[in-house]
Amino acid sequence: ARSFSTSPRAAYEYIIVSSPAAGVTQVTLNRPKALNALFTPLIEELDMAMKEADSDKSIGAIVITGSEKAFAAGADIKEMKDKTYADVYGHEFIQSWSEATKVRKPVLAAVNGFALGGGCELAMMADIIYAGEKAVFGQPEIKLGIIPGAGGTQRLTRAIGKARAMEYILTGKNFTAQQAYEWGLVAAIHPPEKLVEETIKTAGAIVANGQLAVQAAKDAINYGLQVGLDNGLSYERRLFHSLFATEDQKEGMAAFIEKRKADFKGK
């Protein structure tokens, strides 16, 4: 078993923060009795940990995971059951659930077991999803008389296409890790017991590159998804140009010519 060092910077009740590799922060959802069901206190802790990692210059990537049984089996229905329209609309209920998308550093989701409802939505907020072979995805909110409210109708449609998203959101049925991989929602599938380790390896490979270029690439990809091709290309070109003002660009190209490993400083 891998040994993880738990961060001493914050004591959390519903998540575990650890440093499994240089430059990588791992956030493990930790509500085992509730299959990691998402509710406001957990989300607040997750947001806090993500912001801390994002502002830490020594961290280059973040991995979010749950247990082998469940990444997150949905949102906690008990928290929502008795809320009124005035409650949810007046207080912008679940708006804070999207804070993960504001993190500038790459976020990788390692999904084992159930990723349903809010759990599927949280996974889709990550930049890359890796799945265990037995992972199960779905947006079953329609069976509760509601719809996905933390990005499910938007991100799933962009990831797997309108027809499939319509089918799975309107029926509320689940889909497998293999389907998610074939449709492009998931980048790779691993054995459940190796999933987190393999995800951390990829995070480490990302960390080895210059942080400024990594953040620029993430920024360019995400911006391009929101605009037309011409605007996306223009934005990409400006970010490309801007990296020529960095020390990392000089180091990276010098290292290539000198046939040595680059020593990026994030400057």
> Which residue among 21, 49, 72, 75 is the active-site one?
75
Residue 236 dihedral angles phi and psi, to the nearest 5°: -60, -45
Query: Can 121 be counted among the known catalytic residues?
Result: yes
Query: Can 188 be counted among the known catalytic residues?
Result: no
> Which residue among 141, 151, 203, 213 is the active-site one?
141
**Joined tokens for residue 48:** 């806090």
Residues in Cβ contact with 102 at an 8 Å cutoff, skipping those fewer than 6 apart: none
Q: Count other Cβ atoms within 10 Å, centred on residue 146.
A: 12
> Which residue among 66, 74, 117, 118 is the active-site one?
118
DSSP result, 111-145? E-BEEETHHHHHHHHSSEEEEETT-EEE-GGGGGT
Give the SS3 label for residue 178: helix
Query: Can 149 be counted among the known catalytic residues?
Result: no
Closest-CA residue to 199 (of 119, 116, 126, 122): 126
From first CA to last CA, the distance across the chain in angstroms is 36
> Which residue among 21, 37, 70, 121 is the active-site one?
121
- Catalytic amino acids? 75, 118, 121, 141
